[in-house]
């Protein structure tokens, strides 16, 4: 990506005239906006997809009229409606925190996009600490949730915020532990490196390289569901108990930010899972039949559909069950898998 | 069961029950939706469905049986005796001996029980299969069936009775 930006700057007369700091800054702003735009389009598509998937699972059609066929413009209409809505701030709310919260949540999910490789070399910032950066940044979202819950001065919001905090912080651990396995076998935190390591067919994907990583993959997937507040772990926004959790008091654009962040997280989690375990942009066969980014998006969107499928299948867990799943099952199992993987790598070194 | 066996069986059950649930929902996702897209498609109504009331006023003999049968008194009828030479006949051959200047059904009171249709001797008062009862105003819920002819005749008769001299 950096070489490509260099080439772009050399190629363009307007950019070449500027000092390098400015031209790099402009180029990065441009690619950042591209990423945000991609994310926004993805989120809109996912909202539509979610409605369609839920409808089909319940033997309904879902949206059919808006935009002609398949109701494809339904979320567009919803988004316009959200933007038109009055932006309310409760009188007793903490105004500053209330306004910052959605931005932080949105930022946390957008920043993760920086280190996700869409193809070989197609990555905004090819960080050497890639996956570590993603974990650190996505952990920031919890601050936004807690801020939103606290500053709304509403009991539902506060409960939602507290639940989000306890849940997300607990589930960071199994997520990190299951990803460490991948880092161990690849020997790098760099996302592109991890992708390149898995090239050459599905048997070289991390998920199938070791039985321990196979289990770790499922642990990551489960724990990631909890991290992005999806059913069966959607306690922070449990509609039937807490109205909408931490976003109860939000309306208009600010609510849209929370909403967008939620659906962006859906993509981020699937993208990380497909990079770490499902071979990123590589094809499942030794021949690269389709371009890398296409394979990547196919995998990520496939996982998104699986997450939606799970959402409309499983009921919500209780708080004690939630904590039991994390501390009594996911964490011990992922630790055992880590040790097992260590032993495997010691006895049968990779390559 | 020992604690370890319990632990393993918990994990096993969590995985298996999730998969079973996903199989059920997955199968559902590929069945035909049961939705009827309402304004475009209509539900098939049963044979004896009771919808809004309708009176074929040409066959009505003004016997008031329906008004008496109505449990909520939503049928308002006024009748006036016809002269011998004005007697009419219904489609099934019954003699019509009354003018009916008013035959109103207040659908805002009607509970669509269908009891009024049972005593009707000429079977002119019937329930239809019309189930879209929404209207724009309360006045539209007040159904008036009386013929204009009957109204005018009775109005003329009343006027004659009050001022017999003016009529001549």
The answer to whether A310 contacts B33, with C-beta atoms less than 8 Å apart, is no
pLDDT at B167 over 60: no
For chain A, what is the total number of helices (H) and then of strands (E)? Answer: 16, 0
ipTM of the prediction: 0.73
Interface A–B counts its CB contacts (< 8 A) at 42
Residue A30, Cα to own-chain centre: how many angstroms? 22
Q: Cβ of A59 and B26 within 8 Å? A: no
Strand ranges, E, within chain B: 53-55, 75-81, 88-89, 95-96, 98-106, 125-127, 142-144
Q: Which residue has the higher pLDDT, B95 or A9?
A: B95
DSSP state of A328: I
Mutation target to probe the A interface, by most A beta carbons within 10 A, among B12, B14, B22 is B22
Average pLDDT of A50-59? Answer: 88
What pLDDT, on a 0 to 100 scale, did the predictor assign at position A16?
66
> pLDDT by residue (tens digit) across B110-132?
888 889 988 988 888 888 888 88
Distance CA A113, CA A300 (A): 13
Which tokens is B92 given? 């099934």
d(CA A343, CA A324) in angstroms, rounded, equals: 28
Read off the tokens for A28: 């990065």
pLDDT mean over A321-325: 86
Average pLDDT over residues B20-37: 86
In this predicted model, what pLDDT tens digit does every residue of A217-262 receive, in sequence order?
Answer: 899 999 988 888 887 888 777 667 777 777 788 887 888 888 888 8
B33 vs A59, A309, A310: nearest CB: A59
Q: In chain B, which residue's Cα lies nearest the Cα of A53?
A: B29
CB A149 within 8 A of CB A250: no
Angstrom distance (rounded) from CA A274 to CA A206: 10
Give which of B78, B141, B67 is closest to B108, Cα–Cα.
B141
Chain A positions in Cβ-Cβ contact with residue B14 (cut-off 8 Å): 329
Which tens digit of pLDDT belongs to each residue from A149-192?
888 888 888 888 888 888 888 888 899 898 898 888 888 888 88
> In this predicted model, what pLDDT tens digit does every residue of A190-215 receive, in sequence order?
888 888 888 877 788 888 888 888 88
Q: What's the rounded mean pLDDT across residues B3-31?
A: 88
Residue A350 has pLDDT above 70, yes or no: no
Q: Mean of the pLDDT values across residues A98-103?
A: 87
Q: Give the nearest chain B residue to A222 (CA atoms).
A: B15
Residues of A in contact with B32 (CB under 8 A): 59
Shortest CA distance to A282 belongs to which of A206, A174, A172?
A: A206
A6 pLDDT above the threshold of 80: no
The token pair at A94 is 């903490």
Q: Please tell me which residue, A179 or B85, carries the higher pLDDT value.
A: A179
Q: For residue A56, give how far its alpha carbon lies from the nearest alpha carbon of chain B (Å).
A: 5
Alpha helices for A198-291 (secondary structure H): 206-209, 211-227, 239-242, 252-276
Give dist(CA A178, CA A173) in Å, integer.
9
Q: What is the pLDDT of residue B71?
A: 92
């Amino acid at each position: 990506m950096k070489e490509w930006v260099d080439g772009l700057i050399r190629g363009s007369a307007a950019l070449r005239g500027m000092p390098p700091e400015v031209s790099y800054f402009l180029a990065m702003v441009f690619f950042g906006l591209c990423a945000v735009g991609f994310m926004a389009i993805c989120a809109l598509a996912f909202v539509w997809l979610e409605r369609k998937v839920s409808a089909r699972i319940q033997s309904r059609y879902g949206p059919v009229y808006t935009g002609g066929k398949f109701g494809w413009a339904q979320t567009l209409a919803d988004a316009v409606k959200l933007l038109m809505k009055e932006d309310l701030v409760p009188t007793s709310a903490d105004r500053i925190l209330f306004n910052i919260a959605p931005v932080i949540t949105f930022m946390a999910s957008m920043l993760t996009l920086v280190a996700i490789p869409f193809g070989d070399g197609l990555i905004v910032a090819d960080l050497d600490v890639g996956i570590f950066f993603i974990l650190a940044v996505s952990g920031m979202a919890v601050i936004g949730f807690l801020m939103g819950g606290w500053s709304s001065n509403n009991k539902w919001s506060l409960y939602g915020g507290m639940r989000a905090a306890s849940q997300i912080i607990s589930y960071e651990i199994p997520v990190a532990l299951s990803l460490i396995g991948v880092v161990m076998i690849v020997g790098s935190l760099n996302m592109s490196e991890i992708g390149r390591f898995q090239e050459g067919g599905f048997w070289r994907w991390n998920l199938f390289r070791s039985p321990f990583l196979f289990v770790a993959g499922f642990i990551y997937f489960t724990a990631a569901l909890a991290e992005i507040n999806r059913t069966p772990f959607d306690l922070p926004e449990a509609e039937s108990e807490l109205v909408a959790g931490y976003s109860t008091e939000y309306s208009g654009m600010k609510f849209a930010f929370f909403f967008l962040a939620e659906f962006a997280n859906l993509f981020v989690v699937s993208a990380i899972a497909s990079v770490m375990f499902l071979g990123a942009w590589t094809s499942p066969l030794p021949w690269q039949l389709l371009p890398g980014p296409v394979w990547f998006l196919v995998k990520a969107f496939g996982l998104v559909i699986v997450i939606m499928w799970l959402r409309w299948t499983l009921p919500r867990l209780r708080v004690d069950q939630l904590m039991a799943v994390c501390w009594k099952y996911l964490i011990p199992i992922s630790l055992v898998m880590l040790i097992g993987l260590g032993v495997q790598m010691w006895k049968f070194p990779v390559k | 069961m020992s604690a370890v066996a319990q632990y393993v069986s918990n994990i096993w059950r969590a995985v298996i029950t999730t998969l079973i649930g996903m199989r059920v929902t997955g199968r559902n996702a590929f069945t035909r939706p049961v939705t009827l897209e309402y304004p475009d498609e209509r539900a098939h109504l049963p044979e004896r469905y009771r919808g809004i009331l309708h009176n074929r006023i040409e066959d009505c003999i003004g016997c008031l049986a329906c008004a008496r049968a109505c449990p909520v008194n939503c049928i308002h009828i006024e009748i006036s005796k016809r002269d011998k030479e004005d007697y009419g006949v219904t489609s099934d051959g019954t003699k019509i001996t009354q003018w009916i200047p008013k035959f109103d059904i207040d659908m805002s009171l009607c509970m669509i029980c269908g009891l009024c249709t049972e005593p009707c001797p000429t079977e002119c008062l019937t329930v239809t299969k019309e189930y879209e009862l929404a209207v724009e105003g309360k006045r539209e819920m007040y159904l008036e069936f009386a013929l204009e002819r009957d109204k005018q005749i009775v109005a003329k008769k009343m006027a004659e009775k009050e001022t017999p001299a003016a009529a001549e």
